[in-house]
Amino acid sequence: MRVLPGWMRSHSLTFWTSPGKAHPKCFYVPLSLVYCRIFGIQAQRKGVFVAWFLLFSAGFAEIIFALSLKYNQGFTKLWPSIITMVSGGCSFYLLILAIKTLPLGTAYAVWTGMGAVGVAVLGIILFKESADWYRLLSITLVVTGIIGLKLTDGA
């Protein structure tokens, strides 16, 4: 098991199993903790920061998952099908890790909202889907809701 520098392992809330050893499934945590150190985020908030980092990563994986559904043509094309399965699995796994720290309702709403907005915007750009003002207003309202949930999160 990989040993991390003391400043990385000492400021975690829930992601390390014991001093000196990284949790085996937390390959992504060191990057976010480096970000915390660079930008001076306080130690007690790092666990929450990591959870939000995981949640946004899950949202991006959800967008890749949904877009790859368009390209795999009913799982008849190999590589788009593999991308669909891997990105879907990653998205769910990262969401599961995020809800260990964040409230379930907030995390799930942000995750689904990110996926819906991302796919809608990319659908307009990539697939020339309708961009009428009703659709754009609806996307804006979802984004406003996501921001509101993030700002009012008590975690």
Encoded tokens for 69:
């559904």
pLDDT value at 71 more than 70 = yes
pTM of the model: 0.71
Higher pLDDT, 48 or 139: 139
pLDDT band at 87 (very low <50, low <70, confident <90, very high): very high
- The first and second tokens of residue 5, run together, are 């520098």
Average pLDDT of 29-34?
54
Q: Is the pLDDT of residue 4 over 70?
A: no
Grouping H, G, I as helix, E, B as strand and the rest as coil, residue 97 is helix
Give dist(CA 17, CA 91) in Å, integer: 23
Apex 110 CA angle, 153 and 105, nearest 5: 60
Q: What is the pLDDT of residues 115-129, one digit of tens each?
A: 999 999 999 999 999
pLDDT tier for residue 25 given thresholds of 50, 70 and 90 = very low
Express each pLDDT in 34-67 by its tens digit: 555 655 555 556 788 899 999 999 999 999 999 9
Please give the pLDDT value at position 48. 85
Give the separation between CA 83 and CA 63, rounded to whole angstroms. 12
| Matching residue, tokens 């991390």 | 4
Q: What is the pLDDT of residue 65?
A: 97
